[in-house]
Amino acid sequence: MANDTLVRELALRMGDNTLILGQRVSAWCGHAPVLEEDIALANVALDFIGQTRLWLGLAADLGVEDDADALAFLRDARAFKNCLLVEQPNGDFAHTLMRQFLFDAWHLPMLAALKQSSDRRVAEIAEKSAKEAAYHLERSEDYVVRLGDGSDESHARMQAALDTLYPFAGELTTPDANDEAFAEAGLAPELSVIGDIYQATLTRVLNEATLSPTTTVVRKGGKQGLHSEDFGFILADMQWLQRAYPGATW
């Protein structure tokens, strides 16, 4: 079994990704283009928050925090380990869908691999989360193809979203020292393996959607706690109640 320090770091990375993307997606509640999408996006956000409770609950068990809530609401920005992609602004509906697809296409194979983790706790969380991730990818992939290969307007919006967000996708499969340690301990897969699956999915779907990446630049730093300016606004929205009224409960 991998040591608990590595398990905690992995749990923070996975949990922070779903926490921040869940927070972003939840902002569409009451604002989506049609009622069906309003409900669908709210359900996706709830899936992510449910997964977050599992990952951050594990991290809290291995740290000094009381529970997952303390990790979500009481950490400063530099302590969050999510990738930069998930904190990017919602933008229009095209940006939200493209961000979702770029994350989902990585998230599903990552969870599938984590089901074989050397740590039983990690494997169990991945097993519970993978079914939801499969639905998320199916849904976002379908939308990217339909809108990318749709009208001139929808194609232009989806291409603009891809141009903006694609540079952030590379961080998901670019390993750092911790990623290498996870793989060496059998805790998580080699990111190069996930990267091959990820690129195959992106190539297949974007080709079908008649969309093309326009850059190979990789924007990274989130896993080391180096976040974008937008991240501060997310935390302000998410944490203000606990910051203003410490220990507040319903």
**DSSP line for 189-206:** --HHHHHHHHHHHHHHHH
Residue 22 C-beta-side C-alpha neighbours within 13 Å: 20
Write the pLDDT tens digit of every residue in 154-173.
999 999 999 999 999 999 99
Rounded-to-integer distance, Cα 228 and Cα 248, Å = 29
pTM of the model: 0.96
Rounded-to-integer distance, Cα 123 and Cα 207, Å = 33
Q: Examine the pLDDT at 216 and tell me if it is beyond 90.
A: no
Q: Examine the pLDDT at 175 and tell me if it is beyond 70.
A: yes
Angle at 34 between CA 31 and CA 36, to 5 degrees: 105
Question: 164: which 2 tokens?
Answer: 């903006």
What is the residue whose two structure tokens read 């996706």?
44
Phi then psi dihedrals of residue 88, to 5 deg: -65, 145
Mean pLDDT of 9-21: 98
Which letter, b or e, does each residue of 219-236 get, where b requires 16 or more Cβ atoms within 10 Å of its Cβ? bbebbeeebbeebeebbe
Rounded-to-integer distance, Cα 66 and Cα 68, Å = 7
Percent helix, strand and coil across the chain, each to the nearest 5: 75, 0, 25
Query: Mean pLDDT over all residues of the chain?
Result: 95
Question: pLDDT class for 180, splitting at 50, 70, 90?
Answer: very high
Mean pLDDT of 208-230: 94
Q: Examine the pLDDT at 226 and tell me if it is beyond 60.
A: yes
- Write the CA distances from 247 to 80, 126, 135, 250, integer angstroms: 21, 30, 36, 10
Q: Examine the pLDDT at 234 and tell me if it is beyond 80.
A: yes
Write the pLDDT tens digit of every residue in 59-112.
999 998 889 999 999 999 999 999 999 999 999 999 999 999 999 999 999 999
Q: What is the pLDDT of residue 2?
A: 60
Question: pLDDT class for 249, splitting at 50, 70, 90?
Answer: confident
Structural domains of the chain sorted by starting position, each given as residue range(s) with its CATH number in brackets: 4-244 (1.20.1260.10)
Helix (H, G, I), strand (E, B) or coil at 96: helix
